[in-house]
Amino acid sequence: MLAYLLNMPRLMAQSPVSTPGNLETVTIGQQDIAFKSTNAYGRITVYSSSIIRVRLDKKPIEGNFSYAVVGEPQQTKTTITQTNETITLVTDSIKAIIQKQPFSIAFYTTDGTLINEDEHGLATSWVGASVTTYKKLQDDEHFIGLGEKTGNLDRRGSGYTNWNSDVYGYSVTQDPLYSTIPFYIGIHHNVNYGIFLDNTYQTDFNFGASNNRFSSFGARGGEMNYYFIYHKHLADIITSYTYLTGRMPMPPLWSLGYQQNRYSYYPQAEVMRIARTLREKRIPADGITLDIHYMDQYQLFTWNHSRFPNPVLMNDTLKKLGFRTTVIVDPGIKVQKGAPAYESGLKDDVYIKYADGEPYTGQVWPGWCNFTDFTSQKGRDWWHKQVKFFAESGVSGIWNDMNEISTWGQKMPDNVMFNYDGKITTHLEAHNVYGMQMARSSYEGAAEHFKERPFILSRSGYAGLQRYTAIWTGDNRAEDDHMLQGVRLLNSLGLSGVSFTAMDIGGFTGNPSIPLYTRWIQLGAFIPYFRNHTSLNSKASEPWTYGEDVLDIARNYISLRYQLMPYLYSTFYESTQNGLPVMRSLAINYTFDPKILYPDYQNQYEFGDAFMVAPFESSKDYGKVYFPEGKWYDLYTDSVQCSMQNKVIQLKINKLPVYVKGSSIIPMQSLVQSTAILPTDTLSIHIYNGNKTNSFVYYEDDGISFQYKNGSYYKRLITFNPEAHNITLNEAEGSYASHFKYIKLILHGFNQTDNITNGKNQLKLENGNYAFLNVAANTDPQGSASTAESCAVKCVTIKNSQNKINLNY
Q: How far apart are CA 663 and CA 630, in angstroms?
A: 9
3-state helix, strand, coil in the chain (%, to 5): 20, 30, 45
Within 13 Å and on the Cβ side, how many CA atoms surround 125? 16
Q: How far apart are CA 377 and CA 54, in angstroms?
A: 29
Q: Read off φ and ψ for residue 332, nearest 5 degrees.
A: -75, 130
Q: What's the per-residue H, E or C state across 357-395?
A: CCECCEEECCEEEEEECCCCHHHHHHHHHHHHHHHHHCC
Q: Do the Cβ atoms of 327 and 398 come closer than 8 Å?
A: yes
For CA atoms 574, 577, 582, 584, the dihedral sign is: negative
Q: Read off φ and ψ for residue 327, nearest 5 degrees.
A: -125, 150
Q: How far apart are CA 153 and CA 149, in angstroms?
A: 9
Q: How far apart are CA 288 and CA 325, in angstroms?
A: 5
Write the single-letter amino acid at 231.
Answer: H
Active site residue 401: yes
Q: Is the peptide bond before 115 cis (omega within 30 degrees of 0)?
A: no
**Of residues 116, 89, 70, the one with CA closest to residue 32:** 89
Beta strand 114-117 with 130-136 is unpaired
User: Which of 198, 401, 480, 638 is the catalytic position?
Assistant: 401
The residues, any chain, with a CB within 8 Å of residue 84's CB and separated by 6 or more, are 100
Which residues sit opposite 583 in a β-bridge?
607
Q: Read off φ and ψ for residue 575, nearest 5 degrees.
A: -65, -35
Q: How far apart are CA 401 and CA 457, in angstroms?
A: 8
Residue 263 CB neighbour total at 10 angstroms: 19
3-class secondary-structure state, position 94 = strand
Terminal-to-terminal C-alpha distance of the chain: 83
Beta strand 531-532 with 259-260 is parallel
Query: Cα 321–324–326 angle (5° rounding)?
Result: 145
Burial class (CB in 10 A: 0-12, 13-18, 19+), 10: exposed
Residue 510 CB neighbour total at 10 angstroms: 18
Q: Do the Cβ atoms of 749 and 689 come closer than 8 Å?
A: yes
**Of residues 497, 503, 519, 423, the one with CA closest to residue 471:** 503
For CA atoms 676, 677, 681, 684, the dihedral sign is: negative
User: Which of 475, 542, 700, 701 is the catalytic position?
Assistant: 475
Query: Cα 568–570–574 angle (5° rounding)?
Result: 115
Helix (H) or strand (E) holding 9: helix 8-13
Tell me the DSSP string of 240-275: HHHHHH--PPPPPGGGGS-EE--TT--SHHHHHHHH
Beta strand 461-462 with 179-180 is parallel
**Of residues 526, 470, 465, the one with CA closest to residue 501:** 470
Residue 112 CB neighbour total at 10 angstroms: 7
- How far, rounded to the nearest angstrom, does the alpha carbon of residue 776 sit from its chain's CA centroid? 33
User: Which of 373, 404, 638, 701 is the catalytic position?
Assistant: 404
Residues with active-site annotation: 401, 404, 475
